Amino acid sequence: MDDIATDILRRTIRKIPVKKLQDTLKSWEHISTSQLETLDFSQPKWVFLENLRSLCEENDLNVKHVTELEMIYHIRNPNQGTWHACQLLEAEDEALSVELTQFREQFKAHLMEVMRHVSVKIKKHEDQAIWIRIAWGDNFNKPNQLKPTYVVHYLQTPYVFVSKLSSKHKPYLYQALVLSTRHSSIKDAHLSGSSLIALRDLLMRQYQQVFPTNQSRPLQERNALPSHPNIGKEHAELAEKRLQMACEAFGDGTVPKLETAVYRLETKYKGNGNDTLIDRDEPFKGVVQFTSTNLLESLRHCVASGMADAPVTPLLSSITQKGRNYFVITEKGPGAASQMTGRKI
């Protein structure tokens, strides 16, 4: 193996937990069962790596084979790095009939038409996701296998998720996606995060939603008896109403795990006591960012517990309703209320 293949192998093996190494290498299928039996998985990883590299050289493995192992790792660990969601627009009549073989051939062909040196690997996962690994080069340099872009697309849906894509290569990827999926264009969905599963669930509505209803939920039993039946009943009804509103806005049960929501302000200053800001002609600009290990769960709890006002402001409920976590708040016009857009920075 050359130095690049060795480096990719080393990086990948170091990321895989020891208890999952054997199973991962079995799935790779480039090391035989008898060869696997010669490996001691209890060894320090640097020793294990040397023994594994010797087997790879014995089997004449190269970069092509080692990048397959890297893909297996990423597919099994999708919540790595930062993912950005995109949305395909204006599907053509043939869009719903595009199959994997057709997509693979056309996607590779479109990329290779505009770039002489590019390496593309495509693999279908069990959940029907199409995983794409792209190592970019140009007309003069070979693909950089150490800094690949990862793309995940679910066929027959308009959603694409991208990780580690430079602005230089974005036009090439977007064009290849549009042409191979039979759409007219593609746009940023203004949704990003480290959890690919959360972004997918949010955009595809794969979580338990609650819809508005005139009927309240059954009141939960309380351990402590209320001091007065009417007061206790009123408090319980208010609590159930807040919970209903919280679940309508952010979902019920387990919700997609987002970490941030960003609001970029470009509005006139409307506060009191600061004549300097009030008299400014240009918009007041600022950024507000909400951060949590599970933002939707946190917001739902704040509303349900009464820490935040109900009904939920559209500034927050738009995260699930529009499937975004990046917003720009601007003025509609002189004297008008502000509006939210998904314009990119």
- How long, in residues, is the chain? 345
Structure confidence at residue 68 (pLDDT):
96
Q: Which domains does the chain have, with CATH numbers?
A: 3-76 (no CATH), 83-203 (3.60.90), 229-341 (3.10.20.720)
Cα of first residue to Cα of last residue in the chain, in angstroms, is 43
> What is the C-alpha to C-alpha distance for residues 120 and 132, in angstroms, rounded to an integer?
7
Partners of residue 331 on adjacent β-strands: 338
Burial 151-165 (b: 16+ CB within 10 A, else e): bbbbbebbbbbbbbb
Which residues does 317 contact at the CB level (< 8 Å), separation at least 6? 249, 250
- pLDDT at position 126: 80
Count of H-run helices and E-run strands, the chain = 12, 10
**DSSP three-state, residue 167:** coil
- Using one digit for the tens of pLDDT, what is the confidence trace for 238-266? 777 878 888 888 888 888 899 999 999 88
Count of beta carbons in the 10 Å neighbourhood of residue 293: 9
Residue 262: beta bridge partners?
Answer: 289, 326
- pLDDT given at position 225: 47
Output the tens digit of pLDDT for each of the chain's 345 residues.
899 999 999 999 999 999 999 999 999 999 999 999 999 999 999 999 999 999 999 999 999 999 999 999 999 999 888 999 999 999 888 888 889 999 999 999 999 998 889 999 999 988 789 999 999 998 788 999 999 999 999 988 899 999 999 999 999 999 999 999 999 999 999 999 999 999 999 998 877 776 666 555 554 444 444 555 655 566 567 777 878 888 888 888 888 899 999 999 888 776 666 666 666 677 778 899 999 999 999 998 888 888 887 788 888 889 998 999 999 988 764 333 345 555 433
7: how many CB neighbours lie within 10 A of its CB? 15
Q: Concatenated DSSP letters for 310-327? A: SSPPHHHHHHHHTT-SEE
